[in-house]
Chain A
Amino acid sequence: MVKSDQQLTAPPFPLPVLSPTINSVESAQADGDLAIALRSLSAWYGSFQALRDVTMAVLRQRITAIIGPSGCGKSTLIRCLNRMNDLIPGFRLTGQVLFDGQDIYSKRVDPVDVRRRIGMVFQKPNPFPKSIYENAAFGPRINGYVGNLDEIVERALLLAALWDEVKDKDKLHKSALTLSGGQQQRLCIARALAVEPEVILMDEPCSALDPVATLKIEDLMRELAQNYTIVIVTHNMQQAARVADSTAVLMMNEDRAGELIEYGPTREVFTNPKEKRTEDYITGRFG
């Protein structure tokens, strides 16, 4: 079932994304454009199978969107990418999640290292009940960063487009809970960036925000995609169409397990889907 690295086969979908040479996990890897490869990933909560046989590639410094009806396993899938599901009792998976060619679920890998390199932003803004500064400094502190903490914090807040709103000395040291929802979410992005990850996972990062705050975060994501690999789960198809380079569509099969039914460049998926079910979903006839 689990294949070795040498036997990497082309995924069951074409990948004419941006570079014409990329049409398989293999060539993406050869180009150094492959950040994460999922191979035959299945996942269970106890006896309930939430994901079935998902194979897909996440390209470096691109935005990959995962869309699909609610309950189809989008969160489960994205949380497999940084071993966040390890925290859930009864969770198990088969298949591989290859990050830089290494299976992050291999016994030799420490999940704490994985999460340091693959950061996460959650559905509901969840800043710590500490000051804005301490939130941004949290990751560097626990990871024993040397260097000027003030600079790291400022850089992270600048990257997250929050610095201008909080740069006053007394604002910076106020509780993060005094910020608006959108600001809190950008603080959570800054908090993740401060650890200098390579990949940022976002699970419906805008679902608790108003349209203006949502657009701000989308701009920010486009900005960040120049240097980071971003995976975003969204139930909002317009959002996927606006921000993502490639889009994956998940849907439940008859056993309620999530399956990848379509994956490709966002424009292709939205204008010329291979699957009837994708078309139905996108045009609102389903889900």
Chain B
Amino acid sequence: MHQDVALGRLSRVRRPGPLQARLRRGREAVVYGVLLLCALVSVFTTLAIVAALLEEIWAFFDEVSLIEFFTDTQWTPLFRDQHFGVLPLLSATLLMSLGAMLVALPLGLAAAIFLSEYAPAGLRAVVKPVLEVLAGIPTVVYGYFALQFITPEIVRPLFTEAGPFNAASASIAMGIMTLPLVSSLSEDAMRAVPQTLREGAYGLGANRFEVALRVVVPAALSGIMAAAILAASRAIGETMIVTIAAGNMPNLSWNPLEGMQAMTAYIVQVSLGDTPRGTIEYSTIFAVGMLLFLLTLLLNIAAQWLLHRFREVYE
């Protein structure tokens, strides 16, 4: 009966003659060609950008050795006494990202455990989108939130020695910003853990918390780690928040109450300033940019690898 209907519909379509078939093949060839061209254009553009960058980077490392770049403890390309040690920028980026993770991982994981293991379906349907709205807030808003609220209302009352620009408040803001990424991806990983595993643990006298912590989280660990790495990579690449809240003073320090300049903040400073193109000062941003790019690329590859592994576990 069902088949009859399908056959009826089929028989109404006229079989294409040889001419139409050739025309259709011709049209497909044209579409194929246009799409290929588009793909090639974007590949070519990417290659051209990399080539242009490499040229600038080449010019930079012609004058500054890799050893100086990675061992000098001062970064003062814009001063008369020029130093090209990237460590103050690199450490500021890493410190602030680490701080952001200290905020985002425990909170994000707790939120994920709540959503996946505790919340009834109705509550989850409300909480999850609300959390995800946090991810949609423009980062410039977070930046001013850090500068105008977190610093004066939280950080400085607690630590009087904290400056108006400090790494801690940038970290907290970045932590809140990346929290939905952590919670959402971790929750996906935890919900992919088969219900039979949970039942196995309940059957042994585990309570809900033990099931979540000892069975679900370990089983979802690679997915959770991937979420953490992606969040870290977001924090490392984050520009607005660190520029607004942590200031623009290169500062090799592990004290989060001090102001410091992240790699991204430095790139913004030079790009917006009046440094003439073609100078060594200008080419510094390409060297810093390349380092930033390599850092986040590595993290993203690690996360992809972990995600891939975690998908294999239950298939």
Assess whether B196 is in contact with A116, with CB atoms less than 8 Å apart: no
We find that the number of chain B residues with CB closer than 8 angstroms to chain A is: 21
Assess whether A82 is in contact with B201, with CB atoms less than 8 Å apart: no
**Chain A residues, CB < 8 A from B199:** 84, 87, 120, 122, 126
**Chain B residues, CB < 8 A from A120:** 199, 203
Stretch at the interface among B1-9, B137-145, B204-212, B279-287: B204-212
**Chain B residues, CB < 8 A from A191:** 200, 204
Known A122-B200, A124-B196, A128-B200; judge A142-B205 contact (CB<8 A).
yes
> How distant is A197 from chain B, measured CB to nearest CB, in Å?
9
Known A89-B121, A115-B202, A124-B196; judge A129-B218 contact (CB<8 A).
yes
A116 to B204, CA, bound (A): 6
> How distant is A3 from chain B, measured CB to nearest CB, in Å?
29
> How distant is A126 from chain B, measured CB to nearest CB, in Å?
4
Taking the complex as formed, is A230 at the interface, i.e. its CB lies under 8 A from any CB of chain B? no
A170 to B280, CA, bound (A): 59
In the complex, which of the residues B204, B207, B313 contacts A195, with contact meaning CB atoms closer than 8 Å? Answer: B204
Assess whether A126 is in contact with B194, with CB atoms less than 8 Å apart: yes
Taking the complex as formed, is B215 at the interface, i.e. its CB lies under 8 A from any CB of chain A? yes
Taking the complex as formed, is B219 at the interface, i.e. its CB lies under 8 A from any CB of chain A? yes
A115 to B215, CA, bound (A): 17
Q: Known contacts A143-B204, A191-B204; can you find 16 more A-B pairs with CB under 8 A?
A: A84-B203, A113-B205, A116-B205, A120-B199, A121-B203, A128-B197, A129-B197, A129-B313, A130-B218, A142-B201, A142-B210, A143-B205, A191-B200, A192-B204, A195-B204, A195-B205
| Pairs A-B, 8 closest by C-beta atoms | A116-B205, A120-B203, A139-B204, A126-B196, A126-B200, A115-B205, A142-B210, A142-B206
Q: Please list the residues of chain B having a beta carbon within 8 angstroms of any beta carbon in chain A.
A: 120-121, 194, 196-207, 210, 214-215, 218-219, 313
Q: List 14 A-B contacts (CB under 8 A).
A: A84-B199, A84-B202, A87-B198, A115-B205, A124-B196, A126-B197, A126-B200, A128-B200, A128-B201, A138-B201, A138-B206, A143-B205, A192-B203, A195-B205
